[in-house]
Amino acid sequence: MTADALRVAEAAAHPYSVAVAVQGAGFPHVVRGDVPHALQWLARAVDIARTGGFAVLRVLGEIFLGRVLSLAGRHDEAVAMLEDGAAYAESIQYRAWQALNLTWLGDANRRAGRVAHGMATVDQALYAAREQGQRAVEAEALLILAAGHAADECPDLEAARSAALQAISLANILGARPLIARGRLTLGHVSQRAGASDHAREYLSLAADMFASMGMDHWLEQVTAKHPCLG
């Protein structure tokens, strides 16, 4: 359906419709963690949105492209992209995606080594998501908080476990299977760090099955990676 929409938009030479179709093609790849395809689509979407002056599409594109850059390990580029998205959204007083932007900006900063700043930003995101009733974003922020608490040199495993369980509870209500799977992945690694190997194997097996069924290869690799990056 996305391919058909893109063909129609390109045939009509309608840049806004092309930008919408290209973003629509890229977003599912972000959820799956399919970095190469997500980068391909979203870099194009951002370029079209900037050139065409499509304000809302630019904000959305920069937020999702920033997330993909972070998953690709290009953390400083990710921070720059997400900060640009936040600044531009503020300049046009468009705050609908503020909580998600802050969530992924905090995670990008954490992955770049600015741990305290990153975690504080995710705390702000969690507050914003709850204030705005954005429950899926709240679950995403909780997962990233859990990852941060578990990945510290002096981890707070109880805080990590609590945040992951809250995220899974919300995801279950929403029927958001990718978030449920990522929550189980996080619980698996928290259990590993706590020395609870049986629980770890159970959580990681459940996560692996879910990732495999959804084609989420990036996240599936985190189950068996020697030094997984929680997220």
Residue 152 in any domain: the answer is no
- pLDDT value for 54: 96
Percent of the chain with pLDDT over 70: 90
Residue 178 in any domain: the answer is yes
Residue 23 in any domain: the answer is no
- pLDDT value for 175: 96
209 CB neighbour count, 10 Å cutoff? 14
The number of helix segments (H) and strand segments (E) in the chain equals: 12, 0
How many domains are there within the chain?
1
Segment 76-115, tens digit of pLDDT: 999 999 999 999 999 999 999 999 999 999 999 999 999 9
Confidence at 13, pLDDT banded by 50, 70, 90: low
Residue 9 in any domain: the answer is no
Residue 176 in any domain: the answer is yes
Nearest-angstrom CA–CA distance, 178 and 176: 6
Nearest-angstrom CA–CA distance, 90 and 86: 6
Which phi and psi (to 5°) does residue 138 adopt? -60, -45
- pLDDT value for 228: 46
Q: What is the residue range of 221's domain?
A: 161-231
Segment 133-168, tens digit of pLDDT: 999 999 999 999 999 998 867 789 999 999 999 999
Segment 120-138, tens digit of pLDDT: 999 999 999 999 999 999 9
Is the confidence at residue 188, as pLDDT, over 60? yes
pTM (2 d.p.): 0.89
Between 135-151 and 98-111, two packed helices, what is the crossing angle to 10 degrees? Answer: 10
- pLDDT value for 19: 85
Residue 16 in any domain: the answer is no
Asked whether 139 and 179 are in contact (CB, 8 A), the reply is yes
